Structure 1
C-alpha cells in the first residue's frame, strides 16, 4: 500500500491539502527569494508597508491576516535588520506607524520580482485554464475568514 493510497483520507482533506500547499509555497518562495533573506510573511509585511506607509501594527494585522504576536515578532526582526522604522502615530500616541527605510525599499524592490517568480512557479503546477479559478477560490476561503 503506497503513501498515495493510505486510506486515511488526507489526500481528500481540504485542511490537510491547504497546509501541505502552504508548506510547498513557503519552500518555493524561500528558493526563489533566498538572496533577499526574507520569509514569505516578512515579504508580505514589507510589501504592505510599501503600498501604504504609516500603517500601524494593528492595521498590518487587519491587512495581512497575520496574528498579532507573530506580526510583532516580524516587526521586531525587520526593525533589527534596518528594513523598517517606526514612530508614534499622530492619531494615536499608543500606536506606532511603520515605514520602510532606504534599505527596506531596496530589499522590497529586489524581492518583488522574486516573489512574482515564486507565484508563477506555484501556479505552473496547474493547467493554465484553472489558475484564475484557483486564485478566486483561495480568495473566497480567505474572505470567509472575515465574515
Structure 2
C-alpha cells in the first residue's frame, strides 16, 4: 500500500486516474458519435439493442446500470430520431419493450468503425485494452459489493 506521505498525492489516486481517463474517453467518443447523431449514453443503448434486437426497459436499465429516470429521456430522444420504437408488452402491460427500427438497424453498419477509432485513440494495443477492461470490470464489481 502507499505510504502515508504519498497516499494523498493526486497522482497516486486511482479514482483520479479513472476519472481523467473517462473524461478523455468521453471526448473521443463525443467526436466519433457526432457523425452518427448519437450521444455516448444513446450509443450504449444502441449497443445493447444491436446485440439483442428487443429488450424491456427494465432489462436495458440493468444492462447499462441506469435507472428509469435516466433511461426514459434517452429512449424518447432515440425514438424521436427514428432509431427505436417503444411499445407495451402484449404479455405484460406493465412492461415496455424497446425495439430497433429499420433506421436503427441500419445505423449499426455506420457504427462498426467506432471501436477501431477508439482503440487507435487510446494508443494501446488490443490486448492491453482487453486486459484493462477486465481489470476495470473486476474493480467495478468489487466496489459495487463494497457499498451494498
In the alignment of these two chains, the number of paired residues is: 139
Matching residue within 126, 132, 135 for 2:133:
135
How far 1:43 sits from its partner (Å)? 0.8
The 5-angstrom pairing of residues 1-147 of structure 1 reads 9-122=9-122, 124=123, 126=124, 130-144=128-142, 147=145
Unaligned runs of 5+ in 1: 1-6
Answer 1 or 2: higher relative contact order, Cα 8 Å, separation at least 6.
Answer: 1
* TM-score normalised over the length of structure 1: 0.81
Unaligned runs of 5+ in 2: 1-6
Which contiguous aligned blocks of 4+ residues in structure 1 show a shift greater than 6 angstroms?
none
* TM-score normalised over the length of structure 2: 0.81
> Aligned pair in 2 of structure 1 residues 127, 80: CA closer, same or farther (>3 Å)?
closer
Is the CA contact (8 Å cut-off) linking 1:32 and 1:115 kept in structure 2? no
Is the CA contact (8 Å cut-off) linking 1:89 and 1:96 kept in structure 2? yes
